[in-house]
Amino acid sequence: MKRLNLDYLKKSSIYFTPNFPETTTTRYKLSLLRVAGYISLYTIFSWLILIFVLAVTPLKDFLFVVDNQELVAQKDQITELQKKVITLTKNLQMVVDANEKMKYAIMLADKDSVKPNDKIYDTLKKPIKKKIQIGGNIFAAFKNLFEDFFQSENKPEKIIFQEPANGYVSKVFDPANGHLGVDYGMKTGTPVYASCGGFVIFSDYTVNDGNTMIIEHESGYVTVYKHCSSLLKKARDFVKQGELIALSGNSGKNTTGPHLHFEIWHDGKPVDPNKLILK
């Protein structure tokens, strides 16, 4: 058998004899390389026509219907995951903001009182300074009047607090002597309710104050519940006003008997609960 090589292929030819219904038959001679070239050009041209048809006509939707359905399902899954990521990011940011706002209250979660030389005590003695203009004219007087009016209109509504438990007040708010809340005397196991609706940012046991819960509310308000016998809500829970959150007790070292120590903070400073609680 003769060995195939390039020179042999160049010299090889293919004969075509068309079968036409004629009396005479003509044979066509083509070299093997030319036939291969024609086939290659035909293949390339066919692929170009197919690509053009798929690009400009909806035929691809019928040919790749399964792939399109999978792509749509994957797109829906990606969209749903993006929504979940956005929701989780917002919740995480809310927790971070709450922790930043409550850094002073969390530091006091292990204290029932402060000493006169503590830094937090110094903030109680700082008066609120407001610059009052002396003199002026009628225009300035009306201007200040309108400014006060519109500022009062834009102020948020005042939050209403309710009694956290049913008991008698054994110790009142006395910041001068380091007592930053109100003590309610009651037997162990008395229900403790949320004084206002909010977000639980701390719910755990502390050495001095025992079982303690801290709830953040709107407009920078915070409530603190100490010496509980048990906590019924955990951190990051949302509670409604009047909802049962704990049971009173005598837990922690800094206590002399069963009671509930209740505090209200506003913008990092303790406030007298009796001035905010609706009787």
Residues 188, 228: one domain? yes
pLDDT value for 23: 59
Residues 173, 252: one domain? yes
Residues 234, 271: one domain? yes
- The whole domain housing 50 covers 6-16+23-56
DSSP string, 137-185: -HHHHHHHHHHHHHHHHHSPPPP-B--SSSSEEEE--BGGGTB-SEEEE
In percent, how much of the chain has pLDDT > 90? 32
The answer to whether the Cα torsion of 115, 117, 118, 122 is positive or negative is: positive
Q: Are 182 and 169 in contact (CB under 8 A)?
A: yes
Residues 243, 202: one domain? yes
Tens of pLDDT, residue by residue over 228-278, are 999 999 999 999 999 999 999 999 888 888 999 999 999 889 999 999 988
Residues 243, 269: one domain? yes
Lowest-confidence segment of 74-78, 84-88, 145-149 by average pLDDT: 145-149
Classify residue 50: in a domain, yes or no: yes
**What span, in angstroms and rounded, lies between the C-alpha atoms of 14 and 33?**
10
Residues 203, 221: one domain? yes
For residue 254, how many C-alpha atoms fall within 13 Å in the half-sphere facing its CB? 21
Q: Are 265 and 218 in contact (CB under 8 A)?
A: no
Domain count for the chain: 3
pLDDT value for 150: 53
Classify residue 29: in a domain, yes or no: yes
Strand partners, 13: 31
The model's pTM: 0.50
Residues 175, 194: one domain? yes
Residues 68, 10: one domain? no
Tens of pLDDT, residue by residue over 182-218, are 999 999 999 999 999 999 999 999 988 999 999 999 9
DSSP string, 241-253: TT-EEEEEB--SS
CA 239 vs. chain centroid, Å, equals 18
Residues 177, 270: one domain? yes
How high does pLDDT run on average in the chain? 77
Residues 181, 83: one domain? no
CB atoms within 10 A of CB 266: 14
pLDDT bracket for residue 139 (50, 70, 90): low
Residues 28, 76: one domain? no
Tens of pLDDT, residue by residue over 46-70, are 888 888 877 777 766 666 555 566 7
Tens of pLDDT, residue by residue over 118-131, are 544 444 444 444 44
Residue reference for tokens 């009306």: 142
**What span, in angstroms and rounded, lies between the C-alpha atoms of 274 and 164?**
12
